[in-house]
Amino acid sequence: MDKVFVCYASEDTEMVRKIVVGLREEMNMDVWFGPDKLSSVESQFEQVRDAIKQSSVFMFCASLATDKRNPKSFLAIETQEALQMLKGDQPFRAISIRLHERARVPEELSGPAVANFALNDWHVQLLKLGSSIRGK
């Protein structure tokens, strides 16, 4: 089973949580989502780094908030960690989804967004995302 690490801006937590719940409950996927997994403030960076290294899929949630993030934010650090993993030997891939129609997907994360949750067909987008995670 693929382990999915979710990278998102904190401003998008509630929307991303809905997607995470859908992936877990409807698709039976193992999803690492910060608010559910982080335990202590002191070791958050190490927990995030370990979670990315243990994942096989890095899911970037593109939004208007991610377009404006500070280069020193957790989101930027997570993305850089994923880019390093993409260069390694371990099976690891990155996918992107859009939370807002005008959100930009970082070019370095390869390819267009696999799902667009800005559209009204939320469940269809969840199915597309699940298929992409499973590599179908």
Say which CATH number the domain at 10 has. Answer: 3.40.50.10140
* Burial (CB count <10 Å: 0-12, 13-18, 19+), residue 119: exposed
Domain containing 100 equals 3-133
Over the stretch 49-93, which tens digit does the pLDDT of each residue have? 898 999 999 999 999 998 887 777 888 889 999 999 888 888 898
> For residue 40, what pLDDT is reported?
66
Which residues, in sequence order, are bridge partners of residue 94?
Answer: 58
Task: Give the predicted TM-score (pTM) of the model.
Answer: 0.90
What is the structure's pLDDT at 41?
64
Predicted confidence band at 110 (pLDDT cuts at 50, 70, 90)? low
Distance CA 31, CA 61 (A): 14
The total number of structural domains in the chain stands at 1
Span 17-59, pLDDT tens digits? 999 999 999 999 999 998 777 766 667 878 888 989 999 999 9
Calpha distance 39→103 (Å, rounded): 30
